[in-house]
Structure 1
Amino acid sequence: MATVPLLLAGCDGPLSTLSPSGPVAQDIAWLWWAMLAGATLLALMVFVLVALSFGRPREVPEARWILGLGVWFSLGVLTLTLIAALWVGERILPHGTALEVHAHARQWSWSFTQPGADGPSETQGVLHIPAGQPVDVLITSSDVIHSFWVPQLGGKMDAIPGRVNRLRIEAARPGTYEGLCAEFCGLEHAAMRFEVIAHDPADWPPRAPEARP
């Protein structure tokens, strides 16, 4: 029990998928909880069976334990979990039109191109987006495989040399959100961080976005 607070402490913070700040990230967090519930049910079933195995031998109806719990209960839990995963996966795909921005990865930094008050603006280490609006990030790489991830705004997507991958993110409210490369890409991988600044729609597009040092 003493370890529970320490484990729960990892469920919060700017890089936690369980602290969503947008609808896409909210769906992903919901799926995480659904998978946890399914895993808990299966684990409880195993614990109960282990507990019942102690003591003197008893008559056990095979249909109840092998088919009822071993097959149908497990199959039901796994089926519901699969349906939840497919439903969330469909919801977070980029459907319809959205604002497009560009994210380009290289060892070991990110550059972004987004609309500005005076035309397209390129920044280093900082991506500017409007709050309350879906944004499609077009992700590329110039050297090795990287991965674009802003846990509070959406899922992650690989940046692959020679390809353009599309990822939808959305911030429900203005603020600054932390992002990182989620694919090991070399010695400085751990320092390959960036920020996403979501602006109030009244202040969009921003003027002269500042690059992260």
Structure 2
Amino acid sequence: MSTLDPAGPAAHTIAQVWNVMAWGALAILIFMLILATLACCRRPAAQERPPLRLFLIGGGLVVPGVVLIALLVFGLRAGDARSPIPGGEDVYRVQVRAHQWWWEVAHPDAPGGPRYAINQIHVPAGVPVHISVTAADVIHGFWIPRLSGKIDAIPGRTNTIKVQADEPGVYDGVCAEFCGLHHTSMGMQLIAHSPTELPDALRGLSDTQVRP
């Protein structure tokens, strides 16, 4: 469930943001260590004055401004990667309703009519998926780390996130918002199938709503 092992476009973008932040922080740390070493080793003349204006403007405004703008650009790109596709005609749809402490899943696009499952989401691999998330009781957090970012499941409101698995496989997810006593046991699985295998997997699900 590592965000640093991405398996979809949105997760790849999030991992890039993390890498930029990590390597950027390392570069700043090394630069500051070099400055500290030079300051410790150098003996300025008695009449020499440090360039305070350079330190204040360069170190206090220019450098932080450049860093924050760069992070903003990468962050906006990461947000766009998980945003639903306008119109959504060419996406697969899944509806998820969070409960204490399980996930109710509906597949309205299943062949032969809607299919229902608990804690399991079946999707086609290599295809954008819109997952609409809401909650029946308290606020939960829907998160499949290897595929996309987090989104809140809020009672009375539906939020939609775009998810895509590049390859068939099983991708674990969790509730990322503390929601009660058994929060840590509120896991889920997204199973990505090849286009030929997905219909059979969906037909094996219930055609009526289910409860644990």
TM-score, length basis structure 2:
0.85
Q: Which position in structure 2 is the counterpart of 1:52?
A: 38
Q: Which position in structure 2 is the counterpart of 1:32?
A: 18
Q: Which position in structure 2 is the counterpart of 1:77?
A: 67
State how far apart, in whole Å, the 2-side matches of 1:47 and 1:192 are.
Answer: 44
2:63 counterpart letter in structure 1 = F
Alignment of 1:60-209 (within 5 A): 60-96=50-86, 97=88, 98-114=91-107, 115-205=109-199, 206-209=202-205
1:129-157 deviations in Å (ceiling 9; x for gaps): 11110001110111111011001111110
TM-superposed deviation, 1:104: 0.7
Aligned 8 A contact 2:96 2:106 in 1: yes
State how far apart, in whole Å, the 2-side matches of 1:39 and 1:95 are.
Answer: 33
Local SS of the residue matching 2:203: coil
Aligned 8 A contact 2:97 2:133 in 1: yes
Among 18, 21, 25, which residue is 2:7 paired with?
Answer: 21
What runs of 5+ residues in structure 2 fail to find an aligned partner?
A: none
* Bigger Cα displacement from structure 2, 195-204 vs 141-150: 195-204
1:107 counterpart letter in structure 2 = Q
1:105 counterpart letter in structure 2 = A
TM-superposed deviation, 1:94: 1.2
Kindly report the root-mean-square deviation, in angstroms, between the aligned alpha carbons of the 2 structures. Answer: 2.1
Aligned 8 A contact 2:122 2:198 in 1: no
Identity %: 39
Matched pairs, number:
199
State how far apart, in whole Å, the 2-side matches of 1:175 and 1:108 are.
Answer: 24
Local SS of the residue matching 2:131: strand
Following TM superposition, where does structure 1 have runs of at least 4 consecutive aligned residues deviating by more than 4 angstroms?
none
Aligned 8 A contact 1:38 1:78 in 2: no
* Bigger Cα displacement from structure 2, 84-93 vs 187-196: 84-93
TM-superposed deviation, 1:56: 5.3
Among 12, 29, 32, which residue is 1:43 paired with?
Answer: 29
2:36 counterpart letter in structure 1 = V
What runs of 5+ residues in structure 1 fail to find an aligned partner?
A: 1-14
TM-superposed deviation, 1:68: 3.1
- Which has the higher Rg, Structure 1 or Structure 2? 2
State how far apart, in whole Å, the 1-side matches of 2:149 and 2:172 are.
Answer: 13
State how far apart, in whole Å, the 1-side matches of 2:110 and 2:85 are.
Answer: 24
1:48-107 deviations in Å (ceiling 9; x for gaps): 333233245424333443333443223222221221112222232112312211011110
TM-score, length basis structure 1:
0.85
Aligned 8 A contact 1:27 1:92 in 2: no
2:97 counterpart letter in structure 1 = H
